[in-house]
Structure 1
Amino acid sequence: MADGMRAAGHTTLAERLTTADASRCAFASYADLFSLPEAQGGGGTTAEGEASEILEDLLVELVAALTSEHSATEAPHDGAWQDRERILAHARAEADTSGQAQGSLSVLRRALNVATTLMALKPWSGVARWATPKLMVRDLAQVARYLARGEKDASGLTLDSRVRNRLHEALGDAPAVVVAHSLGTVVALEALHEHRAVTPLLVTLGSPLSMRTVVRPRLLPQPPRTPERVERWLNFWDKDDIIAVRPLLERDVLANTAGVLPRSSRIDSDGIWVHSAGKYLAQAAVAGPVAEALMSAEARSAS
């Protein structure tokens, strides 16, 4: 993010946040909560019970959204268009659960097959061919496990509650600019409904919130809306981010009583896996508004 701030012309603030004022930044880390070393796949790439069913539904909706986007293209039906059509048809067949073996291992294998097929939509080779599908399946599996609202600990807290508690600990009681990525956008939306302090700016990156048949109906509370204490919401999506297949959140989220809705903007990154938080944060369009919100908060405090 400091790189993105520098690119946006906020070099002084970027230097302060990486040195003297580093303590002002809190990272709500919860990756360890998804780690089940004894489970097949490890590293959070597992899905049991209802989470397994949600993962299957995520795959179907992901392929359906990409197919709809492809069908809506106005490009002539040339060779490239036909190749994309063939790849998506193959992915639809792989995602179809009818007649398929059930169980978490079968679902994970199917998910990896679908992800590998979808990677053929881009001219990637080498390391991208095996690394990117695994990253995609890991991220989708974690979304599925969070939304399953299960995996209780010894005290009876579900996995999603434990994840939100990490964010509450990071936020504390003071106003805060919140930057959320991927599953973190789901966590932030739900947690900020419970948060009493003002959020001057919420930034969401690579969000799956608008996956209408799987994610959106499972969000809490219903219907999905901007949290009351959020004053501004910016949402960013990359044209090649396969997780953010329905990127215009303002179409699927209601405004809070102040009329605040997400405002979605497209960015373009390069590289193997553009869904990564680092790719988004390094963009001036993303980091610039964060810097401006922090400086505005400083000015208010000084006055």
Structure 2
Amino acid sequence: MKGTTKPKLVLVHGIGGPRDPREELVRWKRALADGARSANLASDISALTMDWMADCSFAYYGDLFADGESQSAGSPDDLDDEEAAIVLGLLAEFLAEEAERPENQGNRALARVRAQLSPDGQPQGAGGAVRHAWAIATAVAALPGVAQVARWSSARDVLGTWSQPARYLRRKGEDAEGTTLDARIRARVLRCMDPARPTVVIGHSLGSVVAFEALASYDGPVPLLVTIGSPIATSGFVWPLLVPRPPATPHCVDSWLDFWDGDDVVVPRRKLAELVQPNERGVTPTPLQFESRMWWAHGATTYLSRGEVAEPVLRALSALSAVSAGTDTSAGTAPSAGS
């Protein structure tokens, strides 16, 4: 790789409303800087924040949810029956996992809501799935403990968490050129990348799904893929809808680190390392878990500010930057966490 240009760092966000990508880029880089301090890599902070180490890009796609069929940036008010069915599936798996937590053993209110999710007796006809999704979301928002941990105060909050993933996974929402919403979102990510330059990619939440699928068709070098708070392994309505199939580590990826917080309510218990097939070089996700004991553990900057996450990212970029500058000819693939 000697003689290549400066590496890139591409950050892919999760769900949420409109945001300023420049401000978000600053926030994510500051969080990584905090993580670098925790990992005793303070000497690399200026190189990161000033883009001396790598050219950093924030792959923003949130505005696309307001295009085409969706007019309010992925608002749950715009759900149709197909999308509502996906939302119900995601909610069912989330509640099933919540029911397994020790603190929810014997939670009768949770058991009643789960029973209402059963296909038996669901409303039929146009709008039936949408009405059912709103009814379940209303009940979930009233669940003691569960709603507070997930920061849901209303049915709109509950559906807002899952409506954007549902729209992405539906694979519809064509624009005037016939390009589906999910394809336009992936194009935003790929637009931030340069096949002639090594790129480290970090995907958070829905952004991990987007990054995974985008890299499946990418031919440039990706020494390190980092997924944080990823729902990829959600068995009911994410894993079965991933493309291409069977899901495998993208051929361009040399190392994949999958971080999840044991207190992150969005991350399923099934782990990527047990599911994703290796690429031709045998690369599979490396699972890395920690326990933050935080009330809300899913935030992107919460993950990035941890030394466990920031350290392999900074070490990979530092090694790639050194190779680009011609000061190191021994660097290979990105280091593993804790190296």
Distance 2:291 2:66 in 1: 31
**Paired position in structure 1 for 2:3:** none
CA-to-partner distance for each residue in 1:186-210, whole Å, 9 max, x for gaps?
Answer: 1111111111111111000111111
Structure 1 residues 12 and 118: CA distance shift in structure 2, 3 A: farther
Q: Deviations over 1:84-137 (max 9, x none)?
A: x42431330243343244626424423533542556248x48x94527x75553
User: Alignment RMSD, CA only?
Assistant: 2.7
Equivalent residue runs for 1:7-18 within 5 Å: 7-18=38-49
| Structure 1 segment 67-106 matched on structure 2, within 5 A | 67=99, 69-70=100-101, 82-83=105-106, 85-101=107-123, 103=127, 105-106=130-131
CA distance 1:155–1:49, change in 2 (3 Å): farther
1:198-209 alignment, distance < 5 Å: 198-209=221-232
| Contact 2:261–2:291 (Cα < 8 Å) also in 1 | yes
1:113 to 126, 135, 138: 138
How big is each residue's C-alpha offset from its partner over 1:162-194, in whole Å with a ceiling of 9 and x where there is no partner?
A: 000000011232220000011111111111111
**Which residue of structure 1 aligns with residue 188 of structure 2?**
166
Q: TM-score under structure 1 normalisation?
A: 0.85
Q: Distance in 2 between matches of 1:246 and 1:14?
A: 34
Inter-partner Cα distance in structure 1 for 2:57 and 2:174: 26
User: Partners in 2 of 1:136 and 1:274 — Cα distance?
Assistant: 17
Amino acid at match of 1:28: A
Structure 1 residues 274 and 136: CA distance shift in structure 2, 3 A: farther
Higher fraction of helix: 1
User: How many percent identity over aligned positions?
Assistant: 38
Partners of 2:221 and 2:320 in 1: CA distance: 11
- Please say which of residues 183-192 and 17-26 is displaced more in the overlay: 17-26
Partner SS for 1:177: strand
Alpha carbons 1:193, 1:227 under 8 Å: kept: yes
2:243 alignment partner, SS class: coil
Q: Which amino acid aligns with 1:59?
A: L
**Residue identity matched to 1:130:** S
Q: Match for residue 178 of structure 1? A: 201
Question: 2-side partners of 1:81 and 1:299: how far apart?
Answer: 50
Conservation of the 8 A alpha-carbon contact between 1:2 and 1:282? yes
CA contact (8 A) 1:177 1:200 kept: yes
Larger relative contact order (Cα-Cα within 8 Å, sequence gap ≥ 6): 2
Instruction: After TM superposition, list the pairs within 5 Å mapping 1:213-228 onto structure 2.
Output: 213-228=236-251
Partner-residue secondary structure (3-state), 2:57:
coil
Give me the whole-angstrom Cα distance separating, in 2, the residues matched to 1:163 and 1:38.
15
Cα distance, 1:234–1:20 mapped onto 2, change above 3 Å: closer
- SS in structure 2 at match of 1:217: helix
Q: SS of 2:209's equivalent?
A: helix
5+ residue gaps, structure 1: 74-79
CA–CA distance in structure 2, aligned partners of residues 192 and 175 of structure 1: 13
- The number of aligned residues is 289
| Structure 2 partner of 1:77 | none
Among 26, 48, 57, which residue is 2:80 paired with? 48
1:28 is matched with 59
Please list the CA deviations of residues 221-246 of structure 1 after superposition, one character each: whole Å capped at 9, or x if unmatched: 10000001100000011112121123
User: TM-score, normalised to structure 2's length?
Assistant: 0.76
The answer to which of 109-118 and 182-191 deviates more is 109-118
Alpha-carbon separation, structure 2, partners of 1:164 and 1:38: 18
Question: Which contiguous aligned blocks of 4+ residues in structure 1 show a shift greater than 6 angstroms?
Answer: 36-40
Query: CA distance change for structure 1 residues 134 and 179 in 2, over 3 Å: closer, same or farther?
Result: farther
The separation in 2 between residues aligned to 1:119 and 1:237, in whole angstroms, is: 24
**How far does residue 65 in structure 1 lie from its aligned partner after superposition?**
3.3
Q: Please say if residues 257 and 285 of structure 2, whose CA atoms lie closer than 8 Å, have aligned partners that are also in contact.
A: yes
Deviations 1:245-288 (A, max 9, x none): 23511111101111111011112335443211111111111111
* Structure 1 residues 213 and 129: CA distance shift in structure 2, 3 A: closer
AA aligned to 2:134 is R
Distance 2:190 2:271 in 1: 27
